């Protein structure tokens, strides 16, 4: 496994032949509109990862933007709702098409309420990932080796998780619901950005 670290953008030839790419991001916090996008990490599922240290406030990343909007490449997330919203706010692109392993887990693993990436990864593929760097300073000028390793770990296993969850969704007869939820997810993220983050627009009240 190799982790490549880039400043500002992906190289033009990175992930060029991928049809699905796992994506995650690191920010200074979880508040849309307040906290900046600091890092974007990606993997095509073949064991390598790319960690992009974003250059603020320009966010001039044409190769990354092209990948996020490429209709031929499915972007895999775990809780993509937040990442997609951040990409719209800071990169100005709507990420699509997408797949979210957290949504898939909630639809398939109804025997538990533990749908965090660490829990799902441990149960379904037997890998115990560390979350110790989750709350570290991602806005620092230089990422530490531990931060780079943590960022990579969040995308290296999403393809394997997708495969396991797809099997479970088909078994439970909910794969069509998952596909509809994934299609709606970018719109849900845009609603968050527009001010409906804490409001269920489908609720009666």
Q: What pLDDT, in 10s, does the model give residues 156-200?
A: 999 999 999 999 999 999 999 999 999 999 999 999 999 999 999
Res 108: pLDDT = 98
Report yes or no: 24 and 156 within 8 Å, Cβ to Cβ.
no
Token reading at 187 = 């719109």
Facing residues of 4 across strands? 50
Whether pLDDT at 23 is above 90:
yes
Res 191: pLDDT = 97
Res 205: pLDDT = 84
Q: What is the pLDDT of residues 28-53, one digit of tens each?
A: 999 999 999 999 999 999 999 999 99
Residue 129 banded pLDDT, cuts 50, 70, 90: confident
Q: What is the pLDDT of residues 63-96, one digit of tens each?
A: 999 999 999 999 999 999 999 999 999 999 999 9
Q: Give the residue with greater pLDDT, 112 vs 141.
A: 112
Residue 148 banded pLDDT, cuts 50, 70, 90: very high
Res 130: pLDDT = 77
Q: Give whole-number Cα distances, 121 to 36, 47, 150, in Å.
A: 27, 16, 14
Q: Give whole-number Cα distances, 29 to 95, 165, 204, in Å.
A: 20, 29, 31
Pairing mode of beta strands 37-43, 49-53: antiparallel
Which are the contacts of 28, defined by CB distance < 8 A and separation ≥ 6? Answer: 35, 36, 38, 137, 138, 139
Res 7: pLDDT = 96
pTM of the prediction?
0.95
Domains of the chain, first to last:
3-196 (3.30.420.10)
Pairing mode of beta strands 49-53, 74-77: unpaired
Angle, CA 127 vertex, CA 77 and CA 151 arms, to 5°: 45
Whether pLDDT at 133 is above 90:
no
CA distance 133 to 39: 13
Percent of the chain residues past pLDDT 90, beyond the cut: 94
Length of the chain, in residues: 205
């Amino acid at each position: 496994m190799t982790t490549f670290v880039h400043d500002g953008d992906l190289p033009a030839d990175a992930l060029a032949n991928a049809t699905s790419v796992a994506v995650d991001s690191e920010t200074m916090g979880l508040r849309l509109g307040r906290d900046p996008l600091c890092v974007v990490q990606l993997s095509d599922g073949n064991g390598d990862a790319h960690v992009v240290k974003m250059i603020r406030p320009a966010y001039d990343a044409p190769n990354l933007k092209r990948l996020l909007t490429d209709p031929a490449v499915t972007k895999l997330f775990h809780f993509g709702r937040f990442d997609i919203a951040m990409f719209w706010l800071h990169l100005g692109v709507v990420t699509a098409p997408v797949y979210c392993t957290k949504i898939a887990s909630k639809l398939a693993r109804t025997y538990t309420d533990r749908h965090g990436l660490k829990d799902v990864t441990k149960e379904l593929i037997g890998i115990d990932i560390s979350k110790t760097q989750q709350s570290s300073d991602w806005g620092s000028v230089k990422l530490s080796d531990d931060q780079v390793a943590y960022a990579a770990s969040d995308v290296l296993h999403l393809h394997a998780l997708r495969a396991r969850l797809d099997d479970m969704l088909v078994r439970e007869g909910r794969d069509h619901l998952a596909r509809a939820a994934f299609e709606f997810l970018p719109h849900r993220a845009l609603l968050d950005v527009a001010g409906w983050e804490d409001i269920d627009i489908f609720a009666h009240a």
